Every structure is written in structure tokens, then in C-alpha cells.
């Protein structure tokens, strides 16, 4: 998980110039997400389709493969094997990009690519929805603006310098039109994220903007070095109260037998991984582990009225099943760094009949990236789950991150590490 800087704002606010300068200064990867939409705009135009029409654009998407490559530190956009980095820079393609970017399927098509880059690199990513949609947990979020006239002037000068024959008035009207499109579309409109810092650059020089944003990055880098932050007292008290109240009915209804008490985590910033057999497994674990935890839960659960609220109160956050959900992984790591434990069920779903399923790769990834131990928990009961049934919850010795042998973080390594965690849990269930 890299340190990610999200730089959003309208066309021509100077994002790319600033992002490039920041990337160079900090040694981060610069990701120009506009280029991705431009490539799709280019493809659609070349195929003679209407860039505004979802009916014409969506069927073309399966034929479009966009990749980003870095040559001598600068980004190249590859469209189906062809380097289109230069041909996408015309006003015509700008407008085509703005058109296609309003189509939800186009945005979806480019989502994973953007998240993967951010997940594996320190990045400065510029776009329209980076802080709001693509990287809602970005470490630094900037919303850059400037007056439309100032932006038109900058783009005019930039294009002139490249030897393109352009008129200022045409550029200004293009900018106004694109502003309108980008802020009025239904999906991921250009919008300042609540936690973004707004920077009006109309009368600022490039150096001043770079300097200002650098301060935020430096501050964030310093924080990243502090591994464990302390959690505000009110959060801990609220968690303790909830934990107590919720535990009462479960202790009355079931006979919960805890084993391996010497292995129960006594600190924050660890991962607790259990097998998943009942919907209240998180509660069974929370009754025993005093330390405040965050929870990774299926996105669907958040839609259930009372339960959804309850999960949020105990710092639950959603993960989409069957997909490498980069944003959920990022959040998990943040919680751990901030001193919370993370309770997770690596199988991703409940298993019937006491079976042990396969682990999804998330748990190993989080353990390795956060560098904290995984405390395995085996949950089991015999027969039907009924009143006063004995449920055994057994804690095992922590698995240290180095035991997971994750060097390259390849799929094979992650799978093997996940299997190791699940087999340790399986031993505890026996």
C-alpha cells in the first residue's frame, strides 16, 4: 500500500503540471487518469461511434484494453498495444473523453486499473473522482480550482507552445462545456471530497502550489512513520459499552467455552482471523478480546437496517465479495496502523456443517503489508445451534508475518499464505 495523493479538479486547473512536479520531487508515480478516458474517447471516435451514446460506446468496451507504462519516469498510455500518449491531446479528443467519461460502464472499466496502481505504488493521481470514488482513503486529497478564464489561458499557452493552431475563445468555450459535463453527469461527477483540501490556484505560481501540497505530503509521510496511533478515548468507551451490552444475550442463550486464553491478543494492531460458521462469530470473538477492533464485513450487510448501523458503530467497513477490493484492503491497513485490531473471516462467507473453506487472498495481503501478527481463532459446535448449545471458541498462537513467506506478493504466495492461515484455524476447530 503506497502513499496516495489524490488531485482532483476541473479541466485545465493545472493538475497535471503540479502532479508531475510532485511525483518527481517525492519519487512517486504520476498517474494521469484523464489519459485513460481520452484513450477510450479516441477509440470510440476511430470506430466512428457516437461518444455521447452509451448504446454505441458500451458494446465497444470489451475490445478496449488500456494500460499505463512508465518510460523514463513519464507515463505512456497504451491502447490495445499502441502508444497513443500524444494523439489523445487534441481538443477534439478532450471533448470525446468528457463525453465517454459520463458513461458509468466506462468508469467501471477503468476502476480496477487505477486502484491497482495506487495499491502497489506511492502515487500522485490526477482526475475528477480520485478523492471521492477511486481512492476514498487517499492519504492526501487536494481539490484544485482556478477561474475558467485563467484555465483557458493556461491551456491556450500550453497548446501554442506545442505548436498547435488554437483559438483562446474556442478553448474557453470548450472548458466551460467540459466543466458543465463533468459536474453535471450522474456517475462520479466532479466534486470536492468532504475531506479534501481546496486550493484555488488562480493567482498562485506553479512553485507555490507545489510547495503548498508538498507540506501536506511531508506531514502525512511523518505520520506514516508512526506505526501505532492512539485511539480516542470515547471510541474505546463506546466499543466497551457495545461489547458488554451485545454480549449479554449471547452469554445467556449459548454456553460459550473459550480455550487457548493465553493466546487472546492483549494489544491493538493485530489481525484476528476466524473460521465463519454463524452470523454472530464476530460477537463470539469480541466477547473475549477486550481490545477495540474494526471489522471487515460483506457490503450487503450494510443494507440491513439495524445490523448495518451496528457494524458501522464498531468500525465495520464493507468489502465486495469475489473481487480484490483495493479500497477495503487499504482501509483495513489504515485501521491497523491507527491502533485498531482487525477482525476478519478469511473465507469471506459462512461455511455450512463445520467445514473449513479456502481463504481469500486479502488476509495474507493485509498481514504482510501491515507487518502485524495474525491471531487464529477456531469456532465450532456440535449438532444444531439451539438454546444452551456449547460453542467452542479456541484461540491459537499468533502467526508472525515472516512466517507467511510473502516476498513478491504474487498470487501464488498470497494463496499459500492464506492456506497456511486457514489450516492453522482448521487445527483449532478439530
3-class state of residue 124 by DSSP: strand
Minimum distance, C-beta of residue 1 to ligand DC, in the bound complex (Å): 20
Contact between 112 and 191 under an 8 Å Cβ cutoff? The reply is no
Cell representation of residue 26: 517525492
In the complex, the smallest distance separating the C-beta of residue 55 from ligand DC, rounded to whole angstroms, is 20
**Min separation Cβ 110 and ligand DC, Å:** 8
The residue (of 14 and 348) whose beta carbon lies closer to ligand DC is 14
Nearer to ligand DC, 182 or 347 (CB): 182
Binding mask 21-60 for ligand DC (x = CB under 6 A): ------------xx--xx----------------------
* Shortest Å, Cβ 105 to ligand DC: 13
Q: How far is the CB of 89 from ligand DC (least distance, A)?
A: 8
Distances in Å between the Cα of 388 and the Cα atoms of 116, 255, 302, 350 are 47, 5, 29, 21
Residue nearer to ligand DC on the CB measure, 75 or 94: 94
Annotate each residue in 224-263 with x if it binds ligand DC (CB under 6 A) or - if it does not, as one string.
----------------------------------------
Select 37 or 317, whichever has its Cβ closest to ligand DC: 37
- Residues that bind ligand DC (rule: CB under 6 A) add up to a total of 15
CB-nearer residue toward ligand DC: 135 or 213: 135
**Residue 422 in contact with residue 356, Cβ under 8 Å?**
yes
Which lies closer to ligand DC via its Cβ, residue 113 or residue 283? Answer: 113
Q: Would you call 67 helix, strand, or coil by DSSP?
A: strand
Integer CA distances (angstroms), 234 to 10, 140, 190, 339, in order: 39, 26, 35, 14
CB of 155 to ligand DC, least distance (A): 9
- Give the residue ranges of DSSP H helices in 130-184: 148-161, 168-184
Query: How far apart are alpha carbons 283 and 120 in whole angstroms?
Result: 33
Stretch that binds ligand DC, among 43-51, 91-99, 116-124, 238-246 (CB under 6 A): 91-99
Cα distance between residue 220 and residue 383, in whole Å: 52
Stretch that binds ligand DC, among 126-134, 238-246, 252-260, 285-293 (CB under 6 A): 126-134
What are 316's three cell numbers? 465495520
| Residue among 396, 345, 349, 400 nearest 370 (CA) | 400
> Would you give the distance in Å from CA 200 to the centre of its chain?
27
The CA-based angle 61-64-66, given to 5 degrees, is: 125
Let me know the angle formed at the C-alpha of 268 by 276 and 235, rounded to the nearest 5 degrees.
Answer: 95
CB atoms within 10 A of CB 288: 17
Category of 128 on φ-ψ map: left (φ > 0), alpha (ψ -120 to 50) or beta: alpha
Q: Which of residues 142-181 bind ligand DC (CB under 6 A)?
A: 178
The residue within the footprint of ligand DC, chosen from 4, 11, 85, 293 (CB under 6 A), is 11
DSSP 189: -
Letters for 174-203 (x = contact with ligand DC by CB under 6 A, - = none) are ----x---x---------------------
101 binds ligand DC (CB under 6 A): yes
Residue with smaller CB distance to ligand DC, 34 or 282: 34
Do 126 and 8 contact (CB within 8 A), yes or no?
yes
Which residue number, 122 or 129, has a Cβ lying nearer to ligand DC? 129
- Shortest Cβ 239–ligand DC spacing (Å): 37
DSSP output for 204-250:
--HHHHHHHHHHHHHHHHHHHH---PPPPHHHHHHHHHHHHHHHHHH
CB of 198 to ligand DC, least distance (A): 17
Residues that bind ligand DC in the complex, under the rule CB under 6 A: 11, 33-34, 37-38, 94, 97-98, 101, 127-130, 178, 182
Amino acid at each position: 500500500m503506497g502513499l496516495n495523493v489524490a488531485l482532483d479538479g476541473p479541466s485545465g486547473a493545472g493538475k497535471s503540471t503540479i502532479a508531475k512536479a510532485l511525483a518527481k520531487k517525492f519519487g512517486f508515480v504520476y498517474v494521469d487518469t484523464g489519459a485513460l478516458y481520452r484513450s477510450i474517447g479516441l477509440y470510440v471516435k476511430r470506430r466512428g461511434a457516437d461518444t455521447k451514446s452509451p448504446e454505441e460506446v458500451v458494446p465497444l468496451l470489451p475490445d478496449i484494453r488500456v494500460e499505463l507504462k512508465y518510460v523514463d519516469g513519464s507515463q505512456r498510455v497504451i491502447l490495445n498495444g499502441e502508444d497513443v500518449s500524444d494523439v489523445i491531446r487534441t481538443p477534439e479528443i478532450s471533448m470525446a473523453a468528457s463525453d465517454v467519461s459520463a458513461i458509468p460502464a466506462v468508469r467501471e472499466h477503468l476502476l480496477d486499473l487505477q486502484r491497482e496502481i495506487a495499491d502497489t505504488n506511492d502515487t500522485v493521481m490526477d482526475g475528477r473522482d480520485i478523492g471521492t470514488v477511486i481512492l476514498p482513503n487517499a492519504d492526501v486529497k487536494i481539490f484544485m480550482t482556478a477561474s475558467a478564464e485563467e484555465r483557458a489561458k493556461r491551456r491556450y499557452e500550453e497548446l501554442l507552445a506545442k505548436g498547435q493552431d488554437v483559438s483562446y475563445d474556442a478553448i474557453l468555450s470548450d472548458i466551460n462545456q467540459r466543466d458543465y459535463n463533468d459536474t453535471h453527469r450522474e456517475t462520479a461527477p466532479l466534486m470536492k471530497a468532504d475531506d479534501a483540501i481546496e486550493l484555488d490556484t488562480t493567482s498562485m505560481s506553479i512553485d507555490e502550489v507545489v510547495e503548498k501540497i508538498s507540506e501536506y505530503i511531508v506531514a502525512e509521510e511523518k505520520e506514516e512513520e508512526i506505526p501505532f496511533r492512539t485511539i480516542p478515548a470515547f471510541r474505546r468507551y463506546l466499543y466497551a459499552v457495545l461489547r458488554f451490552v451485545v454480549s449479554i444475550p449471547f452469554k445467556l442463550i449459548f454456553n460459550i467455552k473459550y480455550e487457548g486464553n493465553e493466546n487472546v491478543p492483549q494489544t491493538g494492531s493485530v489481525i484476528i482471523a476466524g473460521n465463519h460458521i454463524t452470523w454472530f462469530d464476530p460477537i463470539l470473538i469480541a466477547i473475549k478480546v477486550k481490545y477495540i477492533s474494526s471489522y471487515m464485513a460483506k457490503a450487503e450487510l450494510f443494507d440491513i437496517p439495524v445490523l448495518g448501523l451496528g457494524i458501522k458503530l464498531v468500525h465495520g467497513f464493507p468489502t465486495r465479495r469475489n473481487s480484490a477490493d483495493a479500497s477495503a484492503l487499504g482501509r483495513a491497513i489504515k485501521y491497523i496502523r491507527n491502533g485498531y485490531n482487525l477482525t476478519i473471516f478469511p473465507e469471506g462467507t459462512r461455511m455450512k456443517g463445520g467445514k473449513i473453506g479456502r481463504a481469500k487472498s486479502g488476509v495474507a495481503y493485509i498481514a504482510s503489508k501491515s507487518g502485524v501478527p495474525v491471531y487464529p481463532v477456531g469456532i465450532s459446535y456440535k449438532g444444531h445451534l439451539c438454546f444452551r448449545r456449547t460453542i467452542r471458541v479456541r484461540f491459537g498462537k499468533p502467526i508472525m508475518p515472516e512466517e507467511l513467506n510473502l516476498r513478491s506478493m504474487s498470487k501464488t504466495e498470497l494463496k499459500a499464505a492464506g492456506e497456511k492461515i486457514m489450516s492453522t484455524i482448521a487445527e483449532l476447530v478439530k
